[in-house]
Structure 1
Amino acid sequence: MPTLIHLNGPSGIGKSTVAQLYADRHPGVLNLDTDRVVGLIGGWRQNFWQTLGPARALAIGMAETHLRGGNDVVMPQLVAKLSEIDRFEAAAAAAGADYRELVLLTDYDDLHARWSARPPNPVDEIMAEHGGVSLLNKIYGDLTSFVRDRPAATVIETRGQSVEETYQAVVSALCPLA
């Protein structure tokens, strides 16, 4: 059965990096990074928050199409609202696929170190314009509160882990007997 693998977590935790590694090592898997889809919409840098909703809708449609073809999708996307998760789950169900939510988490200090050490990217520039570290703290708080109400979500602690170790934890969570 195809699976929509939702890698959830705060900005800077490594969702996109792990998703790319997963797709590279699993032929046929679509790495559906919504941040890339946002970048396809004209004016997104000036209106990021207004383009995020349509980009997610497009990504969900793409995910459903790929799942219907019998292939897995890995979707690295921060989501801390049940209404958004419901849309991901509904797309998987409509395609006859499974939905798995894996949440990459660490503590504040590690997250801040990762976020400040990574190369600049357009989404981080937008975050900096909207509060930077204070926005990152809000995202982290919102997500950790949200995850408490998500018993089916698998939390993967990433503190002190390399990308490879985090990837292996993701694979183990998806296939615990492998």
Structure 2
Amino acid sequence: MAQLVFLNGPPASGKSTLARRFVDKRPLALNLDVDVVRAMLGRWLEQPLKAGQAARAVALEMARTHLESGGDVIVPQFVGRPNFIDQLADVAAETGIRFVEIALMLDRESALAAFEERSQNPTTQSHVDAIALTNLSNAADPVGDMYDAYRRLIESRPLARRIEVTRGDIDTTMLSVEAAIQT
């Protein structure tokens, strides 16, 4: 039976890598990266908030379509507010599909260090885009603020399956993610 997995975590916590591994093991599973969808929108960086909203709306319909065809969907996305998670859960319920919410957990210092390290050597367009978004922010510590919002959100979501991330050990983290999906 198909399932919808939402993989939340601080920036640079391994969400995209874990999502790629998830789909590599499942024929026709969809890795629905909202940042990639957003990057498909013309001149999105000029209106990043509106672009993010549009990308999430498109992603919800993509998820619905793929779930209705019987395919698994994983959505690797940082969110610091519950709206998008609740919308994904609604799509799963409306399509009769199991919804799994996973929260990648690492301490603040490790999360900030991971983002800084990735920013020094971005390997994907999504990494470059994340740097651009933080540079647009007026906040003194935009990544720290994102981390803090994430932790507050996770504290309010008792059903989210929490997975401790060990930086540099994606294999162990993936085993934990797979176990969380199976339970």
AA matched with 1:20 = R
Aligned-pair identity (%): 32
Q: Which amino acid aligns with 2:65?
A: T
In structure 2, the residue matched to 1:169 is 176
Structure 1: unaligned runs, 5 residues or longer? none
Residue 4, structure 1, aligned to residue 11, structure 2: no
Q: Which residue of structure 1 lines up, in the alignment, with residue 88 of structure 2? A: 88
Distance 1:114 1:43, change over 3 A: same
Of 123-132 and 104-113, deviating more is 123-132
Which amino acid in structure 1 is aligned with residue 95 of structure 2?
A
In structure 1, the residue corresponding to 2:102 is in which secondary structure?
strand
Instruction: Find the aligned partners of 1:138 and 1:42 in 2 and give their Cα distance.
Output: 28
In the TM superposition, what is the alpha-carbon distance from 1:64 to its structure 2 partner?
0.8
Aligned mates of 2:180, 2:129 — CA distance in 1: 31
Question: 2:148: which partner in 1?
Answer: 141
Deviations 1:134-172 (A, max 9, x none): 111111111111111111100111034511221111001
- Cα distance in 2 between the residues matched to 1:4 and 1:41: 24
Q: How does 1:6-85 map to 2 (within 5 A)?
A: 6-85=6-85
Equivalent position SS for 2:45: coil
TM-score, scaled to structure 2: 0.90
Do 1:65 and 1:95's aligned partners in 2 also have CA atoms closer than 8 Å? no
Return the alpha-carbon distance in structure 2 between the equivalents of residues 117 and 168 of structure 1. Answer: 24
What residue ranges of structure 2 are gaps of 5+ in the alignment? 123-127
How many residue pairs get aligned? The number is: 176
Partners of 1:82 and 1:32 in 2: CA distance = 18
* Residue 80 (structure 1) shift: 2.3
Secondary structure of residue in 2 paired with 1:151:
coil
Backbone CA RMSD of aligned residues: 1.6
Of 112-121 and 125-134, deviating more is: 125-134
Q: Distance in 2 between matches of 1:88 and 1:61?
A: 10
Instruction: Find out whether 1:152 has 2:159 as its counterpart.
Output: yes
Moved more, 102-111 or 130-139: 130-139
Q: State whether residues 34 and 59 of structure 1, in contact with CA within 8 Å, keep that contact through their aligned partners in structure 2.
A: yes
SS at match of 2:80: coil
**Contact 1:110-1:159 at 8 Å conserved across structures:** no
Moved over 6 A (4+): none
Mapping for residues 107-122 of structure 1, pairs under 5 Å: 107-118=107-118, 119-120=121-122, 121-122=128-129
Report if aligned partners of 1:102, 1:153 keep a CA contact under 8 Å in 2.
yes
Contact 1:107 1:159 in 2 (8 A): no
